[in-house]
Amino acid sequence: MVDVAGRPAEAAPAPLRTDAPVAIEVRDLGVQYSLRFTKKTTLNRSFINMFRREPADAFWALRDVTFQVVHGESLAVIGPNGAGKSTLLQVLAGIITPSEGIVDVDGRISSLLTLGAGFDQDLSGRDNIRLAGAFMGLDPATMRRITPTIVEFADIGPFIDAPIKTYSSGMRARLGFAIATAVDPDILLLDEVLATGDETFRAKSKQRVLELVRGAKGVVLVTHDMNWVTEFCKRGILLEQGRIIAEGNPYDVVAIHREHSEQSKAERQAALDRAMKDGAVGSLPPDAARSRLRS
Protein backbone atom coordinates (compact mmCIF):
# COMPACT_ATOMS: atom_id res chain seq x y z
CA MET A 1 0.00 0.00 0.00
CA VAL A 2 1.34 3.43 -0.97
CA ASP A 3 0.24 7.01 -0.32
CA VAL A 4 -0.34 9.74 -2.90
CA ALA A 5 3.40 10.49 -3.10
CA GLY A 6 4.17 6.91 -4.07
CA ARG A 7 5.97 5.95 -0.85
CA PRO A 8 4.97 3.12 1.52
CA ALA A 9 2.00 4.21 3.61
CA GLU A 10 3.63 3.03 6.82
CA ALA A 11 6.59 5.33 6.14
CA ALA A 12 4.45 8.45 5.93
CA PRO A 13 5.00 10.73 8.94
CA ALA A 14 2.24 10.71 11.51
CA PRO A 15 0.09 13.86 11.55
CA LEU A 16 0.92 16.41 14.22
CA ARG A 17 -1.48 17.04 17.05
CA THR A 18 -3.13 20.39 16.47
CA ASP A 19 -3.58 20.86 20.22
CA ALA A 20 0.09 20.19 21.04
CA PRO A 21 1.84 23.01 22.94
CA VAL A 22 4.38 25.06 21.02
CA ALA A 23 7.97 24.35 22.07
CA ILE A 24 9.69 26.77 19.67
CA GLU A 25 8.22 29.74 17.86
CA VAL A 26 10.34 31.73 15.42
CA ARG A 27 8.96 34.82 13.70
CA ASP A 28 10.72 36.99 11.08
CA LEU A 29 14.13 35.88 12.32
CA GLY A 30 17.18 37.57 10.88
CA VAL A 31 20.89 37.26 11.69
CA GLN A 32 23.20 39.82 10.17
CA TYR A 33 26.99 39.72 10.19
CA SER A 34 29.35 42.55 9.37
CA LEU A 35 32.18 41.80 6.97
CA ARG A 36 34.02 45.00 7.79
CA PHE A 37 36.73 43.09 9.64
CA THR A 38 37.33 40.68 6.79
CA LYS A 39 38.64 43.33 4.39
CA LYS A 40 40.41 46.65 4.53
CA THR A 41 38.02 49.49 5.32
CA THR A 42 38.97 52.90 3.95
CA LEU A 43 37.94 56.22 5.48
CA ASN A 44 35.89 56.95 2.37
CA ARG A 45 33.97 53.67 2.68
CA SER A 46 33.29 54.27 6.38
CA PHE A 47 31.93 57.73 5.58
CA ILE A 48 29.64 56.36 2.85
CA ASN A 49 28.35 53.57 5.10
CA MET A 50 27.26 56.15 7.70
CA PHE A 51 24.51 57.29 5.32
CA ARG A 52 23.38 53.87 4.09
CA ARG A 53 20.24 52.27 5.55
CA GLU A 54 22.12 48.98 5.44
CA PRO A 55 25.94 48.87 5.39
CA ALA A 56 27.44 47.70 2.11
CA ASP A 57 29.48 45.09 3.96
CA ALA A 58 26.48 43.57 5.79
CA PHE A 59 25.72 39.89 5.24
CA TRP A 60 22.46 38.23 6.22
CA ALA A 61 23.08 34.65 7.34
CA LEU A 62 19.33 34.28 8.02
CA ARG A 63 16.44 36.47 6.88
CA ASP A 64 12.65 36.34 7.27
CA VAL A 65 12.70 32.88 8.89
CA THR A 66 9.39 31.88 10.48
CA PHE A 67 8.31 28.46 11.78
CA GLN A 68 7.04 26.55 14.82
CA VAL A 69 8.02 23.32 16.54
CA VAL A 70 5.44 21.65 18.78
CA HIS A 71 6.08 19.11 21.50
CA GLY A 72 6.39 15.63 20.07
CA GLU A 73 7.68 16.92 16.73
CA SER A 74 11.00 16.15 15.07
CA LEU A 75 11.98 18.86 12.57
CA ALA A 76 14.75 18.45 9.98
CA VAL A 77 16.59 21.50 8.67
CA ILE A 78 18.37 20.77 5.38
CA GLY A 79 20.08 22.76 2.68
CA PRO A 80 23.41 23.30 0.92
CA ASN A 81 26.56 24.33 2.75
CA GLY A 82 26.40 27.96 3.84
CA ALA A 83 22.60 28.06 3.86
CA GLY A 84 22.41 29.11 7.53
CA LYS A 85 21.45 25.77 9.11
CA SER A 86 24.03 25.77 11.90
CA THR A 87 23.45 29.48 12.51
CA LEU A 88 19.76 28.73 13.06
CA LEU A 89 20.54 26.05 15.64
CA GLN A 90 22.92 28.40 17.46
CA VAL A 91 20.15 31.00 17.66
CA LEU A 92 17.74 28.42 19.08
CA ALA A 93 20.39 27.38 21.62
CA GLY A 94 20.87 30.99 22.73
CA ILE A 95 24.47 31.13 21.50
CA ILE A 96 23.77 33.78 18.84
CA THR A 97 21.51 36.78 19.44
CA PRO A 98 19.31 37.49 16.41
CA SER A 99 19.53 40.85 14.67
CA GLU A 100 15.78 40.96 14.14
CA GLY A 101 12.68 38.93 14.79
CA ILE A 102 11.43 36.89 17.74
CA VAL A 103 12.57 33.50 19.06
CA ASP A 104 10.44 32.03 21.85
CA VAL A 105 11.63 28.73 23.35
CA ASP A 106 9.50 27.01 25.97
CA GLY A 107 11.40 24.32 27.83
CA ARG A 108 14.87 23.14 28.76
CA ILE A 109 17.21 22.86 25.79
CA SER A 110 20.04 20.39 25.34
CA SER A 111 22.22 20.87 22.31
CA LEU A 112 24.99 19.01 20.54
CA LEU A 113 26.08 21.40 17.83
CA THR A 114 29.81 20.81 17.45
CA LEU A 115 31.83 17.71 18.15
CA GLY A 116 33.57 18.19 21.49
CA ALA A 117 32.14 21.65 22.04
CA GLY A 118 32.42 22.66 25.68
CA PHE A 119 34.83 19.88 26.61
CA ASP A 120 37.93 20.67 28.66
CA GLN A 121 40.71 18.97 26.71
CA ASP A 122 42.84 18.28 29.78
CA LEU A 123 40.09 16.71 31.87
CA SER A 124 38.98 13.11 31.59
CA GLY A 125 35.68 12.11 30.04
CA ARG A 126 34.25 11.40 33.49
CA ASP A 127 35.30 14.82 34.77
CA ASN A 128 33.80 16.45 31.68
CA ILE A 129 30.50 14.74 32.47
CA ARG A 130 30.54 16.42 35.88
CA LEU A 131 31.51 19.73 34.26
CA ALA A 132 28.64 19.48 31.76
CA GLY A 133 26.24 18.75 34.61
CA ALA A 134 27.37 21.89 36.43
CA PHE A 135 26.83 23.97 33.27
CA MET A 136 23.32 22.51 32.93
CA GLY A 137 22.52 23.36 36.54
CA LEU A 138 22.14 19.76 37.69
CA ASP A 139 22.72 19.01 41.35
CA PRO A 140 25.46 16.54 42.43
CA ALA A 141 22.92 13.88 43.41
CA THR A 142 21.39 13.92 39.93
CA MET A 143 24.81 13.71 38.31
CA ARG A 144 25.79 10.73 40.44
CA ARG A 145 22.57 9.03 39.37
CA ILE A 146 22.90 9.61 35.60
CA THR A 147 26.69 9.34 35.19
CA PRO A 148 26.71 5.51 34.96
CA THR A 149 24.04 5.72 32.24
CA ILE A 150 26.09 8.26 30.29
CA VAL A 151 29.24 6.15 30.57
CA GLU A 152 27.40 3.03 29.45
CA PHE A 153 25.75 4.76 26.49
CA ALA A 154 28.98 6.40 25.27
CA ASP A 155 30.66 2.98 25.38
CA ILE A 156 34.23 4.25 25.02
CA GLY A 157 35.73 1.79 27.49
CA PRO A 158 38.72 2.83 29.63
CA PHE A 159 39.01 6.09 27.69
CA ILE A 160 36.28 7.50 29.94
CA ASP A 161 39.06 8.16 32.48
CA ALA A 162 41.57 9.47 29.91
CA PRO A 163 41.93 13.15 28.92
CA ILE A 164 39.57 14.32 26.17
CA LYS A 165 42.57 15.40 24.07
CA THR A 166 43.35 11.70 23.52
CA TYR A 167 39.88 11.03 22.02
CA SER A 168 39.09 10.59 18.36
CA SER A 169 36.36 12.80 16.90
CA GLY A 170 33.99 9.83 16.99
CA MET A 171 34.64 9.21 20.68
CA ARG A 172 34.00 12.89 21.47
CA ALA A 173 30.73 12.75 19.56
CA ARG A 174 29.65 9.60 21.39
CA LEU A 175 30.33 11.13 24.78
CA GLY A 176 28.75 14.45 23.78
CA PHE A 177 25.62 12.74 22.50
CA ALA A 178 25.36 10.62 25.65
CA ILE A 179 25.57 13.74 27.83
CA ALA A 180 23.16 15.80 25.71
CA THR A 181 20.47 13.12 25.72
CA ALA A 182 20.83 11.94 29.33
CA VAL A 183 18.98 14.86 30.92
CA ASP A 184 15.58 14.40 29.24
CA PRO A 185 15.50 17.87 27.66
CA ASP A 186 12.28 19.41 26.44
CA ILE A 187 14.07 20.38 23.22
CA LEU A 188 17.05 18.64 21.67
CA LEU A 189 19.17 20.38 19.02
CA LEU A 190 21.45 18.17 16.91
CA ASP A 191 23.87 19.27 14.20
CA GLU A 192 25.27 16.45 12.04
CA VAL A 193 26.02 14.17 14.96
CA LEU A 194 23.76 11.22 14.22
CA ALA A 195 26.01 10.14 11.36
CA THR A 196 28.95 9.78 13.73
CA GLY A 197 30.26 6.47 15.04
CA ASP A 198 29.85 2.90 13.93
CA GLU A 199 26.61 1.26 12.86
CA THR A 200 25.83 0.01 16.36
CA PHE A 201 26.17 3.45 17.92
CA ARG A 202 24.14 5.10 15.14
CA ALA A 203 21.34 2.63 15.84
CA LYS A 204 21.51 3.42 19.56
CA SER A 205 21.47 7.15 18.81
CA LYS A 206 18.41 6.84 16.60
CA GLN A 207 16.59 4.78 19.21
CA ARG A 208 17.40 7.32 21.93
CA VAL A 209 16.12 10.26 19.87
CA LEU A 210 12.95 8.36 19.05
CA GLU A 211 12.46 7.78 22.79
CA LEU A 212 12.77 11.52 23.39
CA VAL A 213 10.20 12.30 20.72
CA ARG A 214 7.76 9.71 22.11
CA GLY A 215 8.20 11.38 25.49
CA ALA A 216 6.64 14.58 24.08
CA LYS A 217 10.01 16.21 23.44
CA GLY A 218 10.90 18.37 20.47
CA VAL A 219 13.91 17.67 18.26
CA VAL A 220 15.49 19.98 15.67
CA LEU A 221 18.01 18.16 13.50
CA VAL A 222 20.45 19.57 10.95
CA THR A 223 21.75 16.87 8.63
CA HIS A 224 22.93 16.04 5.12
CA ASP A 225 21.65 12.48 5.54
CA MET A 226 18.36 12.46 3.66
CA ASN A 227 17.51 8.97 4.93
CA TRP A 228 17.38 10.36 8.46
CA VAL A 229 15.08 13.13 7.30
CA THR A 230 12.54 10.87 5.62
CA GLU A 231 12.67 8.00 8.12
CA PHE A 232 12.83 9.93 11.37
CA CYS A 233 11.48 13.48 11.00
CA LYS A 234 7.85 14.53 10.89
CA ARG A 235 8.51 17.80 9.06
CA GLY A 236 11.28 19.38 7.04
CA ILE A 237 12.57 22.86 6.25
CA LEU A 238 14.81 23.67 3.28
CA LEU A 239 17.12 26.65 3.76
CA GLU A 240 18.95 28.35 0.90
CA GLN A 241 20.95 31.54 1.28
CA GLY A 242 19.46 32.11 4.72
CA ARG A 243 15.80 31.88 3.71
CA ILE A 244 13.18 29.14 3.93
CA ILE A 245 12.60 27.84 0.41
CA ALA A 246 10.31 24.93 1.28
CA GLU A 247 8.59 23.60 4.39
CA GLY A 248 6.33 20.64 5.01
CA ASN A 249 6.32 16.90 4.47
CA PRO A 250 9.93 15.66 4.69
CA TYR A 251 9.63 13.56 1.51
CA ASP A 252 8.52 16.59 -0.49
CA VAL A 253 11.18 18.88 1.02
CA VAL A 254 13.94 16.34 0.33
CA ALA A 255 12.75 16.01 -3.28
CA ILE A 256 12.98 19.78 -3.77
CA HIS A 257 16.44 19.84 -2.17
CA ARG A 258 17.70 17.09 -4.45
CA GLU A 259 16.26 18.83 -7.49
CA HIS A 260 17.97 22.10 -6.58
CA SER A 261 21.25 20.28 -5.85
CA GLU A 262 21.20 18.57 -9.23
CA GLN A 263 20.44 21.87 -10.93
CA SER A 264 23.35 23.60 -9.18
CA LYS A 265 25.66 20.71 -10.05
CA ALA A 266 24.62 20.90 -13.72
CA GLU A 267 25.23 24.67 -13.79
CA ARG A 268 28.71 24.25 -12.31
CA GLN A 269 29.54 21.50 -14.79
CA ALA A 270 28.30 23.64 -17.70
CA ALA A 271 30.48 26.53 -16.54
CA LEU A 272 33.47 24.18 -16.26
CA ASP A 273 32.86 22.79 -19.75
CA ARG A 274 32.69 26.29 -21.23
CA ALA A 275 35.86 27.35 -19.47
CA MET A 276 37.71 24.23 -20.60
CA LYS A 277 36.56 24.85 -24.15
CA ASP A 278 37.70 28.48 -24.03
CA GLY A 279 40.82 27.66 -22.01
CA ALA A 280 39.92 30.36 -19.48
CA VAL A 281 39.87 29.15 -15.87
CA GLY A 282 39.53 32.73 -14.64
CA SER A 283 35.96 32.92 -15.95
CA LEU A 284 34.80 30.00 -13.79
CA PRO A 285 32.77 30.25 -10.61
CA PRO A 286 35.04 29.81 -7.56
CA ASP A 287 34.11 26.15 -6.87
CA ALA A 288 34.53 25.10 -10.46
CA ALA A 289 37.76 27.05 -10.82
CA ARG A 290 39.29 25.28 -7.83
CA SER A 291 38.28 21.90 -9.28
CA ARG A 292 39.84 22.83 -12.62
CA LEU A 293 43.11 23.95 -11.02
CA ARG A 294 43.38 20.73 -9.00
CA SER A 295 42.91 18.54 -12.07
pLDDT tens digits, residue range 101-127?
Answer: 999 998 878 777 765 567 899 999 999
CB 79 within 8 A of CB 229: no
Q: Which parts of the chain sit beneath pLDDT 50? A: 1-14, 38-43, 290-295
Number of Cβ atoms within 10 Å of the Cβ of 175: 28
- pLDDT at position 192 is 74
Q: What is the pTM of this model?
A: 0.72
67 - beta bridge partners? Answer: 26
CATH number given to 9-108+185-294: 3.40.50.300
249 - beta bridge partners? Answer: none
- pLDDT at position 2 is 32
Instruction: Tell me the pLDDT tens digit for each residue of 199-220.
Output: 788 788 878 877 776 765 788 9
CB 154 within 8 A of CB 125: yes
- pLDDT at position 212 is 74
Identify the CA nearest to 176 among candidates 198, 150, 202.
Answer: 150
CB 248 within 8 A of CB 236: yes
59 - beta bridge partners? Answer: 33
Identify the CA nearest to 208 among candidates 193, 222, 223.
Answer: 193
* In the chain, where the domains are located: 9-108+185-294
CB 219 within 8 A of CB 213: yes
How far apart, in whole angstroms, are the C-alpha atoms of residue 154 and residue 160? 9
How far apart, in whole angstroms, are the C-alpha atoms of residue 171 and residue 285? 38
Identify the CA nearest to 176 among candidates 144, 153, 198, 158.
Answer: 153
How far apart, in whole angstroms, are the C-alpha atoms of residue 272 and residue 288? 6
Q: Cα dihedral angle (143, 149, 153, 159), rounded to 10 degrees?
A: 60
How far apart, in whole angstroms, are the C-alpha atoms of residue 274 and residue 268? 10
How far apart, in whole angstroms, are the C-alpha atoms of residue 241 and residue 88? 12
- pLDDT at position 183 is 75
240 - beta bridge partners? Answer: 243
Give Cβ neighbours of residue 92 (< 8 Å, ≥ 6 apart): 24, 26, 103, 105, 109, 111, 187, 189, 220
